[in-house]
Amino acid sequence: MNASVGPAPAPSLGRRLVRPVAALAAVAVPTLYVAGVDPNQPGHYPTCPFLQATGWWCPGCGGLRAVHAMSHGQLTTAGHDNVLVLALAVLAGLYWVMWFWAALTNTAPPKLRTSGRQWAALLLVLLAFTVFRNLPPGAGFAPPGA
């Protein structure tokens, strides 16, 4: 007997929302911790190993301070602490909203595709940012206490 099988039923809304909501929780929990435990107060977080070894601010230095400032609505301070972390947070937030919307509407989620050239460009931006923030003209991009 040849039974015709139709398309599989669409997953329920709850099943579609599990991944974006779990991702949000995975980011929200540590963010809430950083919001409550001020990285500007010494003794709460370890020193950056790159900073300790070289005396230079790495691309991530000031990232916890930026997250703390963002969680308190201080976007200017966050940008001063680490503009790359602020930009990444905005991009990640936009991507998450598109992902959540796709889950709500049962459409395909956005795809992130990066080429070798894009990775190389990102690496160059990180390197340029690291060098610039450690030179006198880029002092405004160094975290507080520099």
Instruction: Indicate whether 94 belongs to any domain.
Output: yes
Instruction: Indicate whether 3 belongs to any domain.
Output: no
Instruction: Indicate whether 1 belongs to any domain.
Output: no
Nearest to 146 by CA among 73, 66, 55: 55
Q: Is 107 left (phi over 0), alpha (psi -120 to 50) or beta?
A: beta
Instruction: Indicate whether 4 belongs to any domain.
Output: no
Centre a 10 Å sphere on the Cβ of residue 126 and count the other Cβ atoms it contains: 14
Quick: pLDDT tens for 90-128: 999 999 999 999 999 999 888 888 899 999 999 999 999
For 72-136, the three-class secondary structure string (H helix, E strand, C coil) is CCCHHHHHHHCHHHHHHHHHHHHHHHHHHHHHHHCCCCCCCCCCHHHHHHHHHHHHHHHHHHCCH
Domain count, the chain: 1
Structural domain harbouring 88: 13-141
Q: What is the pLDDT of residue 8?
A: 72
Answer whether 0.75 is exceeded by the pTM: yes
d(CA 3, CA 21): 38
